[in-house]
Amino acid sequence: MKKTIGGMLTAGGLIGIIYFGYQYMQDSESIEAFGADVAISTGDYTPIIISAVVMVAGIVISKLNLK
């Protein structure tokens, strides 16, 4: 049962990282200043951190051997 819940949390966290990471990359803008390309990010990184925490929690739950 723990492996199933852990696997679901891990998969959900990974999907969240991919989805919100893509959105974060789309929200960044690039400008050119003095011949150098400068990237400015206007995206929110909080959902990426939350997804990473959920993924790590899923890994820990699935690997934990408490009886």
Start-end of H helices in the chain:
2-26, 46-63
The pLDDT of residue 26 = 84
CA dist 50 → 12, 33, 37, 40 (Å): 11, 34, 30, 22
Give residue-wise pLDDT tens across range 5-63: 999 999 999 999 999 999 988 887 777 777 787 777 777 889 999 999 999 999 999 88
The pLDDT of residue 65 = 67
The pLDDT of residue 16 = 96
CA dist 8 → 4, 13, 22, 53, 55 (Å): 6, 8, 21, 13, 9
Reported pTM: 0.76
